[in-house]
Amino acid sequence: MASIWNNGISLSIFGESHSAAIGVVIDNLPPGKKINMDRVISFMKRRQAKSDGTTTSRIEPDIPEIQSGLVNGVTTGTPLAFLIHNTNVRSQDYQNVQTTVRPGHADYTGNVRYQGANDIRGGGHFSGRLTACMAAAGAVCGQILEEYGVYVAAHLLSVYDIHCNSLDTMSLTKEKLAEIRALPFPVINEVKRLQIIDRINQARLAQNSVGGVVECAAIGMPAGIGSPIFDNLESIISSIIFSIPGVKGIEFGEGFHAAELMGSENNDSFYYDKNTVKTKTNRHGGILGGISSGMPINFRVAMKPTPSISLEQDTIDLAQKKEVRLGIVGRHDPCIAARAVPVVEACCNIALLSAIIKQKGI
Protein backbone atom coordinates (compact mmCIF):
# COMPACT_ATOMS: atom_id res chain seq x y z
CA MET A 1 0.00 0.00 0.00
CA ALA A 2 1.21 3.51 -0.78
CA SER A 3 -0.63 6.74 -0.04
CA ILE A 4 1.27 8.77 -2.61
CA TRP A 5 -0.06 11.24 -5.18
CA ASN A 6 2.50 12.12 -7.82
CA ASN A 7 1.61 14.55 -10.56
CA GLY A 8 4.31 17.21 -10.75
CA ILE A 9 4.18 17.77 -7.01
CA SER A 10 4.31 14.57 -4.98
CA LEU A 11 2.41 14.06 -1.73
CA SER A 12 2.94 11.20 0.70
CA ILE A 13 0.45 11.03 3.57
CA PHE A 14 0.88 8.84 6.64
CA GLY A 15 -0.89 8.07 9.92
CA GLU A 16 -4.29 6.99 11.15
CA SER A 17 -7.18 8.73 12.87
CA HIS A 18 -6.07 7.48 16.30
CA SER A 19 -2.31 7.10 15.78
CA ALA A 20 0.11 9.36 17.65
CA ALA A 21 0.31 11.70 14.70
CA ILE A 22 -0.48 12.13 11.03
CA GLY A 23 1.68 13.85 8.47
CA VAL A 24 2.51 14.75 4.91
CA VAL A 25 5.70 14.94 2.87
CA ILE A 26 5.57 17.30 -0.14
CA ASP A 27 8.17 16.73 -2.84
CA ASN A 28 9.15 18.89 -5.82
CA LEU A 29 8.11 22.27 -4.47
CA PRO A 30 10.12 25.09 -6.03
CA PRO A 31 12.94 26.44 -3.84
CA GLY A 32 13.13 29.98 -2.56
CA LYS A 33 9.39 30.46 -2.01
CA LYS A 34 8.34 32.36 1.12
CA ILE A 35 5.69 30.52 3.15
CA ASN A 36 3.78 32.30 5.90
CA MET A 37 3.05 29.63 8.52
CA ASP A 38 0.45 31.84 10.23
CA ARG A 39 -1.51 31.73 6.98
CA VAL A 40 -1.09 27.94 6.82
CA ILE A 41 -2.49 27.59 10.33
CA SER A 42 -5.37 29.97 9.52
CA PHE A 43 -6.19 27.89 6.46
CA MET A 44 -6.24 24.71 8.54
CA LYS A 45 -8.52 26.31 11.14
CA ARG A 46 -11.20 26.55 8.45
CA ARG A 47 -11.26 22.75 8.46
CA GLN A 48 -11.37 22.42 12.25
CA ALA A 49 -14.46 21.19 14.10
CA LYS A 50 -16.75 23.85 15.56
CA SER A 51 -18.92 24.06 18.66
CA ASP A 52 -22.16 24.97 16.85
CA GLY A 53 -23.43 21.41 16.39
CA THR A 54 -22.59 21.24 12.69
CA THR A 55 -19.44 19.15 13.22
CA THR A 56 -17.95 16.45 15.38
CA SER A 57 -17.11 17.39 18.97
CA ARG A 58 -13.59 16.04 18.41
CA ILE A 59 -11.59 19.26 18.20
CA GLU A 60 -7.89 18.98 17.37
CA PRO A 61 -5.52 21.99 17.43
CA ASP A 62 -3.98 20.94 14.07
CA ILE A 63 -0.75 22.90 14.40
CA PRO A 64 1.59 21.49 11.75
CA GLU A 65 5.16 20.99 12.94
CA ILE A 66 7.80 21.56 10.26
CA GLN A 67 10.20 18.64 10.06
CA SER A 68 12.15 19.64 6.96
CA GLY A 69 12.13 21.66 3.76
CA LEU A 70 11.50 25.12 5.24
CA VAL A 71 14.25 27.35 6.68
CA ASN A 72 13.50 30.87 7.90
CA GLY A 73 10.12 30.62 6.22
CA VAL A 74 11.58 29.83 2.78
CA THR A 75 11.30 26.54 0.87
CA THR A 76 14.64 24.84 0.38
CA GLY A 77 13.56 22.70 -2.56
CA THR A 78 14.01 19.52 -0.53
CA PRO A 79 11.00 17.55 0.76
CA LEU A 80 8.75 19.69 2.95
CA ALA A 81 7.45 17.56 5.82
CA PHE A 82 4.69 18.41 8.30
CA LEU A 83 3.76 16.45 11.42
CA ILE A 84 0.32 16.95 13.01
CA HIS A 85 -0.27 15.37 16.42
CA ASN A 86 -3.51 13.59 17.36
CA THR A 87 -4.35 14.85 20.84
CA ASN A 88 -8.07 14.11 21.26
CA VAL A 89 -8.80 10.44 20.60
CA ARG A 90 -11.31 8.07 22.21
CA SER A 91 -10.38 4.64 20.87
CA GLN A 92 -12.78 2.92 23.30
CA ASP A 93 -15.68 4.15 21.16
CA TYR A 94 -14.67 1.57 18.54
CA GLN A 95 -14.53 -1.55 20.71
CA ASN A 96 -17.97 -2.68 19.51
CA VAL A 97 -17.01 -2.53 15.82
CA GLN A 98 -13.81 -4.59 15.86
CA THR A 99 -15.52 -7.26 13.76
CA THR A 100 -18.90 -5.61 13.09
CA VAL A 101 -18.65 -3.73 9.80
CA ARG A 102 -20.19 -0.26 9.72
CA PRO A 103 -22.54 0.40 6.78
CA GLY A 104 -21.15 2.96 4.35
CA HIS A 105 -17.59 2.61 5.69
CA ALA A 106 -14.50 0.88 4.37
CA ASP A 107 -14.50 -1.64 7.23
CA TYR A 108 -15.40 -4.61 5.02
CA THR A 109 -13.35 -3.64 1.98
CA GLY A 110 -10.39 -2.67 4.20
CA ASN A 111 -10.67 -6.00 6.03
CA VAL A 112 -10.47 -7.89 2.74
CA ARG A 113 -7.71 -5.68 1.29
CA TYR A 114 -5.49 -5.80 4.39
CA GLN A 115 -6.36 -9.31 5.57
CA GLY A 116 -8.01 -8.11 8.76
CA ALA A 117 -5.04 -6.02 9.89
CA ASN A 118 -6.56 -2.60 9.12
CA ASP A 119 -6.92 -0.10 11.97
CA ILE A 120 -10.66 0.55 12.44
CA ARG A 121 -10.31 3.15 15.25
CA GLY A 122 -11.89 6.29 13.86
CA GLY A 123 -11.66 4.81 10.39
CA GLY A 124 -7.87 4.42 10.58
CA HIS A 125 -6.12 5.47 7.37
CA PHE A 126 -9.50 5.79 5.64
CA SER A 127 -10.55 8.58 8.00
CA GLY A 128 -11.35 12.15 7.10
CA ARG A 129 -8.82 13.03 9.81
CA LEU A 130 -6.14 12.59 7.13
CA THR A 131 -7.57 15.56 5.22
CA ALA A 132 -5.74 17.79 7.71
CA CYS A 133 -2.60 16.75 5.82
CA MET A 134 -4.17 17.78 2.52
CA ALA A 135 -5.17 21.12 4.03
CA ALA A 136 -1.60 21.78 5.18
CA ALA A 137 -0.14 20.90 1.78
CA GLY A 138 -2.81 22.87 -0.07
CA ALA A 139 -2.26 25.93 2.12
CA VAL A 140 1.42 25.95 1.11
CA CYS A 141 0.61 25.42 -2.57
CA GLY A 142 -1.97 28.20 -2.44
CA GLN A 143 0.62 30.73 -1.32
CA ILE A 144 2.96 29.72 -4.14
CA LEU A 145 0.09 29.85 -6.65
CA GLU A 146 -0.51 33.47 -5.74
CA GLU A 147 2.97 34.28 -7.07
CA TYR A 148 1.71 33.00 -10.42
CA GLY A 149 -1.41 35.19 -10.08
CA VAL A 150 -3.72 32.23 -9.42
CA TYR A 151 -6.34 32.47 -6.64
CA VAL A 152 -8.70 29.72 -5.47
CA ALA A 153 -11.74 29.56 -3.17
CA ALA A 154 -14.53 27.11 -2.43
CA HIS A 155 -17.90 27.31 -0.74
CA LEU A 156 -20.78 25.05 0.27
CA LEU A 157 -23.25 25.12 -2.61
CA SER A 158 -25.92 22.85 -1.14
CA VAL A 159 -26.77 20.59 1.77
CA TYR A 160 -29.48 17.97 1.35
CA ASP A 161 -32.46 19.92 -0.05
CA ILE A 162 -31.17 23.47 0.52
CA HIS A 163 -29.36 25.08 -2.41
CA CYS A 164 -27.30 28.26 -2.29
CA ASN A 165 -26.18 30.59 -5.07
CA SER A 166 -23.65 29.24 -7.53
CA LEU A 167 -20.56 31.38 -8.16
CA ASP A 168 -20.63 33.80 -11.08
CA THR A 169 -17.20 32.94 -12.43
CA MET A 170 -17.33 35.78 -14.96
CA SER A 171 -17.22 38.42 -12.21
CA LEU A 172 -14.90 36.81 -9.67
CA THR A 173 -11.95 38.79 -8.35
CA LYS A 174 -9.20 37.83 -5.92
CA GLU A 175 -10.86 40.15 -3.37
CA LYS A 176 -14.17 38.31 -3.73
CA LEU A 177 -12.43 34.95 -3.35
CA ALA A 178 -10.70 36.25 -0.21
CA GLU A 179 -14.10 37.21 1.23
CA ILE A 180 -15.39 33.70 0.58
CA ARG A 181 -12.37 32.13 2.28
CA ALA A 182 -12.90 34.38 5.32
CA LEU A 183 -16.49 33.27 5.95
CA PRO A 184 -16.91 31.70 9.43
CA PHE A 185 -19.27 29.13 7.86
CA PRO A 186 -18.67 28.55 4.13
CA VAL A 187 -22.03 29.60 2.65
CA ILE A 188 -22.10 32.85 0.67
CA ASN A 189 -25.79 33.68 1.21
CA GLU A 190 -26.66 34.66 4.78
CA VAL A 191 -30.25 33.37 4.67
CA LYS A 192 -29.20 30.05 3.14
CA ARG A 193 -26.33 29.84 5.63
CA LEU A 194 -28.74 29.85 8.56
CA GLN A 195 -31.03 27.35 6.82
CA ILE A 196 -28.14 24.98 6.10
CA ILE A 197 -26.86 25.16 9.67
CA ASP A 198 -30.38 24.39 10.89
CA ARG A 199 -30.72 21.45 8.47
CA ILE A 200 -27.40 19.96 9.64
CA ASN A 201 -28.47 20.27 13.28
CA GLN A 202 -31.81 18.66 12.49
CA ALA A 203 -29.97 15.67 11.03
CA ARG A 204 -27.72 15.45 14.08
CA LEU A 205 -30.64 15.52 16.51
CA ALA A 206 -32.36 12.81 14.44
CA GLN A 207 -29.21 10.65 14.84
CA ASN A 208 -28.69 10.92 11.11
CA SER A 209 -26.56 12.81 8.58
CA VAL A 210 -26.83 14.75 5.32
CA GLY A 211 -24.68 15.16 2.21
CA GLY A 212 -23.82 18.25 0.23
CA VAL A 213 -22.09 19.81 -2.76
CA VAL A 214 -18.93 21.92 -2.63
CA GLU A 215 -18.21 24.39 -5.44
CA CYS A 216 -14.68 25.56 -6.19
CA ALA A 217 -13.34 28.24 -8.54
CA ALA A 218 -9.88 29.44 -9.55
CA ILE A 219 -9.01 32.65 -11.37
CA GLY A 220 -5.76 33.63 -13.05
CA MET A 221 -4.88 30.19 -14.38
CA PRO A 222 -2.94 30.83 -17.60
CA ALA A 223 -4.17 29.34 -20.86
CA GLY A 224 -2.37 26.32 -22.23
CA ILE A 225 -1.79 24.28 -19.05
CA GLY A 226 -2.64 20.60 -19.39
CA SER A 227 -2.72 17.96 -22.09
CA PRO A 228 -5.29 15.87 -23.94
CA ILE A 229 -6.22 12.26 -23.09
CA PHE A 230 -4.66 10.85 -19.89
CA ASP A 231 -2.74 13.86 -18.58
CA ASN A 232 -5.53 16.40 -18.93
CA LEU A 233 -6.19 19.10 -16.35
CA GLU A 234 -9.60 17.71 -15.39
CA SER A 235 -7.99 14.32 -14.70
CA ILE A 236 -5.28 15.86 -12.54
CA ILE A 237 -7.84 17.78 -10.47
CA SER A 238 -10.22 14.82 -10.24
CA SER A 239 -7.52 12.38 -9.17
CA ILE A 240 -6.70 14.34 -6.04
CA ILE A 241 -10.29 15.41 -5.32
CA PHE A 242 -11.27 11.73 -5.15
CA SER A 243 -8.63 11.25 -2.44
CA ILE A 244 -10.98 13.14 -0.10
CA PRO A 245 -13.06 10.61 1.87
CA GLY A 246 -16.77 10.84 1.03
CA VAL A 247 -16.43 12.29 -2.49
CA LYS A 248 -18.81 10.56 -4.90
CA GLY A 249 -18.75 12.81 -7.96
CA ILE A 250 -17.26 15.82 -9.70
CA GLU A 251 -18.43 17.98 -12.60
CA PHE A 252 -16.72 20.84 -14.42
CA GLY A 253 -18.38 23.93 -15.82
CA GLU A 254 -21.91 23.14 -16.94
CA GLY A 255 -21.29 19.54 -15.92
CA PHE A 256 -24.13 17.07 -16.25
CA HIS A 257 -26.49 19.87 -17.27
CA ALA A 258 -24.56 20.10 -20.55
CA ALA A 259 -26.17 16.82 -21.56
CA GLU A 260 -29.52 18.64 -21.63
CA LEU A 261 -28.34 21.45 -23.94
CA MET A 262 -27.92 21.91 -27.65
CA GLY A 263 -24.41 22.55 -28.94
CA SER A 264 -25.36 26.14 -29.71
CA GLU A 265 -26.43 26.58 -26.09
CA ASN A 266 -23.40 24.93 -24.52
CA ASN A 267 -20.65 26.45 -26.66
CA ASP A 268 -18.87 29.54 -25.36
CA SER A 269 -18.23 32.23 -27.98
CA PHE A 270 -14.67 33.55 -28.21
CA TYR A 271 -13.73 37.21 -28.41
CA TYR A 272 -10.69 39.47 -28.00
CA ASP A 273 -10.32 41.61 -24.89
CA LYS A 274 -7.54 43.78 -26.31
CA ASN A 275 -4.88 41.12 -26.96
CA THR A 276 -6.33 38.50 -24.61
CA VAL A 277 -8.56 35.68 -25.86
CA LYS A 278 -11.64 35.20 -23.70
CA THR A 279 -15.08 33.60 -23.93
CA LYS A 280 -18.36 35.45 -23.42
CA THR A 281 -19.64 32.71 -21.12
CA ASN A 282 -17.87 29.99 -19.15
CA ARG A 283 -19.93 26.82 -19.54
CA HIS A 284 -16.70 24.90 -20.21
CA GLY A 285 -15.44 25.72 -16.70
CA GLY A 286 -12.09 27.03 -17.85
CA ILE A 287 -10.91 23.78 -19.46
CA LEU A 288 -11.17 22.71 -23.11
CA GLY A 289 -9.63 19.50 -24.42
CA GLY A 290 -8.01 18.94 -21.04
CA ILE A 291 -6.14 22.26 -21.30
CA SER A 292 -6.80 25.51 -19.43
CA SER A 293 -8.42 28.22 -21.55
CA GLY A 294 -7.49 31.17 -19.35
CA MET A 295 -11.05 31.53 -18.13
CA PRO A 296 -11.84 30.78 -14.46
CA ILE A 297 -11.73 27.09 -13.59
CA ASN A 298 -14.96 25.96 -11.98
CA PHE A 299 -16.09 22.58 -10.65
CA ARG A 300 -18.48 21.05 -8.12
CA VAL A 301 -17.91 18.07 -5.83
CA ALA A 302 -20.64 15.80 -4.44
CA MET A 303 -20.10 14.60 -0.87
CA LYS A 304 -22.09 11.68 0.51
CA PRO A 305 -23.83 11.84 3.90
CA THR A 306 -21.56 10.89 6.80
CA PRO A 307 -21.88 7.10 7.11
CA SER A 308 -21.34 7.21 10.91
CA ILE A 309 -24.84 7.61 12.31
CA SER A 310 -26.23 6.43 15.62
CA LEU A 311 -29.48 5.16 14.13
CA GLU A 312 -29.45 1.37 14.21
CA GLN A 313 -28.72 -0.28 10.86
CA ASP A 314 -28.50 -3.81 9.52
CA THR A 315 -25.00 -5.19 9.05
CA ILE A 316 -22.87 -8.29 9.71
CA ASP A 317 -20.37 -9.55 12.27
CA LEU A 318 -17.37 -10.98 10.43
CA ALA A 319 -16.14 -13.05 13.41
CA GLN A 320 -19.49 -14.66 14.15
CA LYS A 321 -20.53 -14.73 10.47
CA LYS A 322 -24.05 -13.57 11.25
CA GLU A 323 -26.32 -10.61 10.60
CA VAL A 324 -26.61 -8.08 13.44
CA ARG A 325 -27.93 -4.62 14.22
CA LEU A 326 -25.52 -1.75 14.86
CA GLY A 327 -25.84 1.74 16.28
CA ILE A 328 -22.57 3.64 15.86
CA VAL A 329 -21.22 5.51 18.89
CA GLY A 330 -18.51 8.15 18.94
CA ARG A 331 -18.03 11.69 17.69
CA HIS A 332 -18.89 12.29 14.06
CA ASP A 333 -19.78 15.09 11.66
CA PRO A 334 -23.49 15.20 10.77
CA CYS A 335 -22.39 16.72 7.42
CA ILE A 336 -18.85 16.15 6.17
CA ALA A 337 -19.43 18.51 3.22
CA ALA A 338 -19.11 21.60 5.42
CA ARG A 339 -15.60 20.77 6.64
CA ALA A 340 -14.64 19.47 3.20
CA VAL A 341 -14.83 22.99 1.70
CA PRO A 342 -11.24 24.05 2.55
CA VAL A 343 -10.03 20.54 1.70
CA VAL A 344 -11.49 20.78 -1.82
CA GLU A 345 -9.86 24.19 -2.14
CA ALA A 346 -6.55 22.78 -0.87
CA CYS A 347 -6.64 19.90 -3.34
CA CYS A 348 -7.38 22.34 -6.17
CA ASN A 349 -4.33 24.38 -5.10
CA ILE A 350 -2.16 21.27 -5.19
CA ALA A 351 -3.49 20.15 -8.58
CA LEU A 352 -3.11 23.54 -10.29
CA LEU A 353 0.39 24.17 -8.95
CA SER A 354 1.35 20.63 -9.92
CA ALA A 355 0.11 21.14 -13.47
CA ILE A 356 2.03 24.42 -13.80
CA ILE A 357 5.25 22.93 -12.41
CA LYS A 358 4.90 19.80 -14.52
CA GLN A 359 4.60 21.84 -17.69
CA LYS A 360 6.75 24.88 -17.04
CA GLY A 361 9.25 23.40 -14.59
CA ILE A 362 10.38 24.99 -11.34
Binding residue ranges: 47, 125-127, 289, 304-308, 331
Q: Which residues are known binding-site members for FMN? A: 125-127, 289, 304-308, 331
CA dist 271 and 263 (Å) reads 18
CA 91-93-98 angle, 5° bins? 85
- DSSP for 199-263? HHHHHHHTT----EEEEEEEE-PPTT-B-SGGG-HHHHHHHHHTTSTTEEEEEETTGGGGGGS-H
Look up residue 342 and give its amino acid.
P
Are the C-beta atoms of residues 287 and 352 closer than 8 Å to each other? no
Q: Which of 190, 237, 215, 251 is nearest to 340 (CA)?
A: 215
d(CA 349, CA 298): 13
36 SS3 class: coil
Full DSSP string of 302-350: EEPPPS--SS-EEEEETTTTEEEEE---S---S-HHHHHHHHHHHHHHH
Could you tell me which residues are annotated as the binding site for NADP(+)?
A: 47
Question: SS3 helix, strand, coil % of the chain, rounded to 5?
Answer: 35, 25, 40
Contact 303/214 with Cβ under 8 angstroms? yes
Please, is 234 exposed, middle or buried when counting C-beta atoms within 10 Å of its C-beta (0-12, 13-18, 19+)? buried
Q: How far apart are CA 28 and CA 248, in angstroms?
A: 29
What b/e string do you get for 63-93 counting C-beta neighbours within 10 Å, with b at 16 or more? bbeeeebbeeeebeeeebbbbbbbeebeeeb
DSSP count for the chain of H helices, then E strands? 8, 18
Q: Which amino acid is at 179?
A: E
